[in-house]
Amino acid sequence: MDITGLWIVAVSALLVAVVAFAQARRTARQLAQITEMYWQLKYDHGELKGKVDPQAPARPDPQQTFVPLSSIKKGPTAT
């Protein structure tokens, strides 16, 4: 290869590098935009969910009734 061939290879490599750099910048910009859209959508979803379906008030705990074990063991008495 003479010097002209080396220049062609060098210029070609430089062009490929510039195109790859431009593509990487474009992809990074798209990723930033998509990330921002994702978080905005997540925030809007939370806001709308709060407006449409508010949380129901918590139910009170059910009252427990004490049943003595002796009354269960005796069973019905026949008189």
Give the separation between CA 28 and CA 22, rounded to whole angstroms: 10
Give the separation between CA 22 and CA 38, rounded to whole angstroms: 24
One pLDDT digit (tens) per residue for the chain, 79 residues: 688 999 999 999 999 999 999 999 999 999 999 999 999 999 999 999 888 866 677 777 777 777 777 777 766 665 5
pTM (2 decimals)? Answer: 0.54
